[in-house]
Chains A and B, each alone.
Chain A
Amino acid sequence: MVHYPAWDQDEARSIVSGLSHLEGATLPILHALQEEFGYIDPQVVPLIAEALNLSRADVHGTISFYHDFRTAPPPRKIVKLCRAEACQALGCDAVVDELAREHGIVVDEHGGPEKAVVETVYCLGNCALGPSALVEGELLGRVDADHIAALCGARQ
């Protein structure tokens, strides 16, 4: 389990200034902030805009475009479950149904920072050993609903 420190505007400022020399620095900065704090607090937007000579709208637009970036503290744990075609062929939709029916876990439903969440992702590059999931950087093959539920810490 990953623990993140609370948002710290001074620390955020130093992350921004440490990377602002890069070409096209926006994504590296956003990734670095999310890696540090688990999310990107909207109060960092003016800092990035100023450091990179962009409008705040540009920075906000970039943050909101990408699925990966979160603007609120992350859930306790994120289990990314692949639901693309290769995993569909191996019954990932049945896993999703069983999670809801047997374990009370609704995929893509966020229950606040104390809860684990199962998120849909499209392809983890493990298409011959699906259904697949990615949990805190670890790739898992041939998963089933019980396995996913156990990762989430049982019934919620």
Chain B
Amino acid sequence: MSEAIRIFVPIDAAALSVGAEAVAQAIAREAQARGLAVEIVRNGSRGMLWLEPMVEVETPEGRIAYGPVAGRDVAALFEAGFQSGGAHKLRLGPVDQLDWLKRQQRLTFERVGVTDPLSLADYRAHDGLKGLEKALSLTGAEIVEEVRESGLRGRGGAGFPTGIKWKTVHDAKADQKYIVCNADEGDSGTFADRMLMEGDPFLLIEGMTIAAIAVGATKGYIYLRSEYPHAHTALRRAILKARNAGLLGASVLGSGKAFELEVRLGAGAYICGEETSLLESLEGKRAIVRAKPPIPALQGLFGKPTIVNNVLSFAAVPWILTHGAKAYADYGMGRSRGTLPVQLGGNIKRGGLIELAFGISLREIIEDLGGGTLSGRPIRAVQVGGPLGAYLTAGQLDTPMDYEALAGIKAMLGHGGIVVFDDNVDMAKQARFAFEFCAKESCGKCTPCRIGATRGVELVDKIIAGTERPKNLAVLRDLNKLMTDASLCAMGGLTPMPVMSALNHFFEDFDRPPAERLPLAAE
């Protein structure tokens, strides 16, 4: 009897959203009916989301991909001999040679889609835990220095140097320190955190554990948004396995150093992506933004020194420790070192996750890798960096993906999300939405955000309706300046970014005769 054929069907939520579960079941049924021994591995997604559900079959020539596979295709696939890599119209070829993957530099996502996310043995077999083992041979100060040298900057959006944050917590004296992972990935157009937590949860655990060892923290929390039930399940199961294997607990890998980790669920508040409101929420309170200083690194969770980092920041650390700071810093450009997991979404033909060194242009991502719009219509606007990021024109797409280059055109990289719109988009409506979203999600602590967002919706409505347009445009610009300058956090402070970019780049949408417009939906 030959060994079981290994077939990979993703368990990533995006793959499940287009039918991966039915495909897995159909493969199991069909194999049984044919008397074939198969082992179905539920891997993460490779990030080629337009090909999901993408099934891979292990053959002597490597893993062969087929996609997008529907449940009804499965019988024909077996008929065509896909279990040994046979030809079929859905056959994409050896997965390692697919252009979309070959053009990437996968460091953080090196295992996602390759391994079984919940197999610690698989994790170890693919270089997992080497970073932590290295860290355990260093002093805390040496770990912090390694992270600083790598040039890693916070991947959540603000881009603050991770090593400096860690050093502050390392140098603080306290009876208790905390490691907090911001997994409240609320920005539309971003899903890298989700894919990583579902596709390689041990990597996040390892990264947070290294942080804990570095600064002497013994307790960590992953604050996960409630909209991610699949990631919640993956993390809970992975933490349980990690604890049972001695990777977490009273003595991390037998080092005598303790680290306990827990997942906490948010409750549908976008503002919790802001680190101080996240801490308030973890403490059980209304998620009201705190004034800074004091910074969380000195007075964070329950007033104790706390590292708060994004999922991707923690997840970059094991690679840095394993391969060295210099190897990481060799990727990238200027002050943006390493790689960035870019998320390509919205009206796009080939959307998904692309991990690349900083510096690639938006055009290369959207046109070459993404293949343009899904609708086939011309690109009119591209929003980079989530709901608080700027709308760019098709003419601005030669800008490189780099913190400073985007800041230079009054845009921001944020968490690396790109949302593409075709020429059906109404940019006045998008500007209105930016205010509407801010009004709904503002924590209410500072007046510019709480009141400004509501006034902003009213102003855009008046401008759209043609009411005293020049005067209201002047007030709109003034309101945006005030919100930018006087808001307590990025929610109120950056809402003007999409609004102003829409106004400056797409003024014609604010200047149409009101009669041409369809009536807006009532509030």
Contact = CB atoms under 8 A, between A and B. Distances in A.
Contacts of B189: 84-86, 123, 127
Interface stretch (A10-18, A61-69, A109-117, A148-156): A61-69
Interface stretch (B94-102, B282-290, B452-460, B462-470): B282-290
B437 interface: yes
Interface stretch (B69-77, B165-173, B341-349): B341-349
Given A25-B284, A27-B281, A121-B227, A89 B346 contact: yes
Nearest to A27: B284
A2 B287 CA distance: 29
Nearest to A119: B268
B17 A140 contact: yes
Contacts of B521: 97
Nearest to A69: B267
B188 A123 contact: yes
B14 A122 contact: no
Contacts of B399: none
Contact of A26 (B285, B344, B352): B285
Given A26-B285, A27-B284, A85 B17 contact: no
Contacts of B419: 85-86, 89, 127
B351 A31 contact: no
Interface in A84-102: 84-90, 97
Nearest to B302: A23
B411 interface: no
B253 to A, nearest CB: 25
A132 B228 CA distance: 13
A85 B430 contact: yes
A128 B351 contact: yes
B286 A127 contact: no
Interface in B246-304: 264-270, 281-287, 302
Nearest to B422: A89
A129 interface: yes
Given A89-B421, A122-B441, A123-B187, 10 more contacts: A67-B267, A69-B267, A85-B188, A85-B189, A86-B345, A89-B419, A90-B346, A122-B270, A128-B345, A129-B18
23 contacts: A27-B284, A28-B264, A28-B265, A30-B267, A66-B268, A67-B269, A88-B421, A89-B419, A122-B188, A122-B387, A122-B437, A123-B185, A123-B189, A125-B13, A125-B14, A125-B193, A126-B191, A127-B188, A127-B190, A129-B14, A129-B49, A134-B229, A139-B17
